[in-house]
Structure 1
């Protein structure tokens, strides 16, 4: 694995498996049962020039749970980039201040350009419609854990990716990462005009995976193991596209009725979040809240150990994780959400 995490392209299967193993060792710390200070004294610089809740806060929490501290900035308004500073200058300056950097930027390729100016590890927290590699890693970590919980093999599994497959950077990174695994069956369902880019389809198919494209969710998906739904990325639309997608139908909505009628009892649902819960948004339905098939909050929880693993690997402390490991001293609830199912 290189010194930065910018794209899934830089990873092979061994690197992915290694990070999954480290994340497993991080679970007691992420679940607030144990404490370690392996990154005590280290400082993380978070540069988020695009809206974020989960990615920014989970990277912060992951670094802090390893004993480090965080310097945070959000938006162009509060950055010298508003004064015309280049990515190169910003990168070199930040590299002199902090020990690791997480960056999110609305332009594809911007994080890679930023990383060229520094030897400090840089993690891509999302670059426009490009990639989101740490999200894909936590998604695959979630998939492997869910399959283990269900006692099912991952090889040969059927995954349904649905929603905005054109601009959804999470599915771009995810399908690249899935292509490293033993052959899978992957079905793609998206509104017209929001299809998965053909080069990504060709890449996955060339590695022996079976790719199917269907026009809507009005079909039989009883053999689907995993549904990965994505929000329509309206912020990336042109004016013409915004007008054409004003009346998106409910043919692409994953809700309790869809799971009950068209899927099976062990099908579980993932979503990178945020989901648009407003009426008529046609995103993943809130009527699944409390349903054990809804894995989205287990998925977000898994972001902490995986991002801890990424930091531990990039900062070369993975062999010291257990140093000074001790029990927490504060109250930790049995479950974190009021609707969390007992599994």
Structure 2
């Protein structure tokens, strides 16, 4: 059945990522593998932080929230893509689309703020180590995480409510693999210019300001690192910072390019490609870059494997 024949109902039609071809089957298999790996590594990260007392610090507390957000984000989108490919049905209910939009906005907004909070934590750790326990206490880290979730929830609630109240007069076919805000706004037959200006202001709050904080933090970190006497310490710090900045730019760059353009400039293929970075790629890379290259995390993993092996014996 053609998508155009299905738009009489209140359901939306997601055209998805894949077509019925051999190359699509290979891409689909790769996506399933990435999804499993992402869930495994993020759940392992949360387990390690929960079990190992050495990881009960503000930095790893924030990392556990990042892992949980990544699990929620990819689980909100990829299972639907998998189910649609296997079943051949591309319909998504109005309520299902609204839920997917809300969770997507919640995770995107909360993670933007959390990444900024994590960069500030690293700044205090490296640039003001003697004042770390005073400036970033357990209470402060809990408030930071709670603030990210709260602000993200408020933002997602407002935007979801506004977008779902737009009239969709003709086609309900979404040329995307999930219900993303720009795709839905483009589909509306109402004048959304005022709303788009609001989205631009929102993007400054959730994208430009956090990204500026992250860049400022890393500049200060690098200036402090340059003053270190040990060349090995400088090399390690540069390596860590460069990896972190690559992941941050891979997340914020496509996100900004998607949400800060007028709807007339959006093309389906471009939007899908950009969305892959912040919905699939970065949730997969975050645990590797932020955690598994860390000696404390690797030690905690060895302890977990050792204790599991001894328990089985």
TM-score when normalising by structure 1: 0.25
Higher relative contact order (CA 8 A, sep 6+): 2
- Decide which structure has greater strand share: 1
TM-score when normalising by structure 2: 0.27
